[in-house]
A and B are shown apart, each in its own frame.
Chain A
């Protein structure tokens, strides 16, 4: 079982609130990713990181921001949530010297009212 954890699993908030989705992994992986996914639908890469102090935007434009201050931690922040941000957010990680297997967390389901 993968050692990658996301909190909260479920979050319902009002429009305009600031939220942070947490992602931590204990595998020492250098590469980490955030995907946005509507239920059972495509995985859209919104952010990724090569390592500490490295962050890049993904293929899908997102109003969220990320930081990577520690190897194991890759939080995602929405400064002002809107209903259009309602979705599932999946965090994943892998390491450069490995097989390429991507390990996913169980996701954070966000609902913005």
Chain B
């Protein structure tokens, strides 16, 4: 019940294309769903996050779509750029809990 399943494991997209990464969770107690972006040699950094009371959140080229009934959420990167090449982690967090549950990560490569 504590897992967050992330797919795909790796993704190659042409410059200007749309990158889509999916995550599914099991525990309905989670109430914060962030995406983290990690470049080689760096720690992960928060990219965008959503709470379950909304179905979509957009920040620039990055959008989270959230489906509460299906217990799924996804990250869409529009007009993907080579600078977006990184590893992306979805996560789930419940208020009052002590830890995040991270997905297994998706390595995104955007070809120039």
Contacts and interface: CB of A to CB of B under 8 A. Distances in A.
Contact of A100 (B32, B89, B104, B107): B32
Contacts of A106: 41-43
A41 B105 contact: yes
B99 interface: yes
B60 interface: no
B42 A107 contact: yes
B43 A40 contact: no
A104 B104 contact: no
Contacts of B99: 33, 45, 48, 58
Given A31-B98, A50-B98, A105-B43, A99 B105 contact: no
Given A33-B99, A45-B99, A100-B93, A107 B43 contact: yes
Interface string B10-49: 0000000000000000000000101010101111111001
Contact of B45 (A33, A42, A104): A104
Contacts of B1: none
Chain A interface: which size bin? 20 to 34
A40 B49 contact: no
A101 B95 CA distance: 11
A75 to B, nearest CB: 17
Contacts of A96: 96
Could you say which of A43, A50, A96 has the most chain B C-beta atoms within 10 Å of its C-beta?
A43
Interface of A: 2, 31, 33, 39-43, 45, 48, 50, 56, 58, 90, 92, 96, 99-102, 104-107
Interface of B: 32, 34, 36, 38, 40-46, 49, 87, 89, 91, 93, 95-96, 98-100, 102, 104-105, 107
14 contacts: A33-B99, A40-B87, A42-B104, A58-B99, A90-B44, A96-B96, A99-B32, A100-B32, A101-B34, A101-B46, A102-B100, A104-B45, A105-B43, A107-B42
